[in-house]
Amino acid sequence: MKHLIVVFSLLLLTVAAWFLAVEYRSLLIFRIYSTLLWLTAIHFFFKVVLEHRITKKIKDDKTRFEFSRIVSILYVVLLLLVSIRVWVEDTQVLLVSYGLIAAGVTVALQDFFKKLMGGLIIFTTGTYRVGDRIEINSKLGDIIDIGILNTTLFELKE
């Protein structure tokens, strides 16, 4: 409900900025309108559709947390990319800005990419399967679930 109120408020601001942009034909007001329009669309997609609707359907707490974290990071990154694109005219500054944002995303999502690649390797090579008994760091246990991002181990006391 809170996210819908935010989207509705952003929509009202966007419409008001559009009327001002049409009336005054100012580049500054048009950029404000463009920024608000993108902000409204991005907020609706990421916060209402992805985070609110899809996160409820994810049962596993760890996966839900990871998904929510990735959605939040991508939300901020996309807002930055769009805002920079609307407000910056110089292409060199634009490219440098996009490069810095890409470096930030790489650092922020490195754990996710490590887990994703590890999960894909486990699925494709079949290193272990559900029911196998393995030992990791002197801890012995049975594999009870293998996901894309996590493997659940039932630890045995021996």
- Residues 48-105: pLDDT tens digits? 888 878 888 888 787 788 788 888 888 988 998 899 889 888 888 888 988 998 898 8
Locate 152 and state its tokens: 């659940």
- Residue 37: pLDDT band with limits 50, 70, 90: very high
| Domain residue ranges in the chain | 2-108, 117-158
- Residue 158: pLDDT band with limits 50, 70, 90: low
Question: Counting Cβ atoms within 10 Å, is residue 147 exposed (0-12), middle (13-18) or buried (19+)?
Answer: middle
Locate 123 and state its tokens: 């699925």
Is pLDDT above 70 for 19?
yes
pLDDT digits (tens, 9 = 90+) for 143-157: 888 877 788 888 887
In the three-class reduction of DSSP (H, G, I as helix; E, B as strand; rest coil), residue 58 is classed as coil
DSSP label at 47?
I
pLDDT digits (tens, 9 = 90+) for 90-126: 888 888 988 998 898 888 888 888 888 888 888 788 8
81 residue type, one letter: L
Give the pLDDT score at 10. 92
- Please give the Cα distance from 111 to 119 (Å, whole number): 12
157 residue type, one letter: K
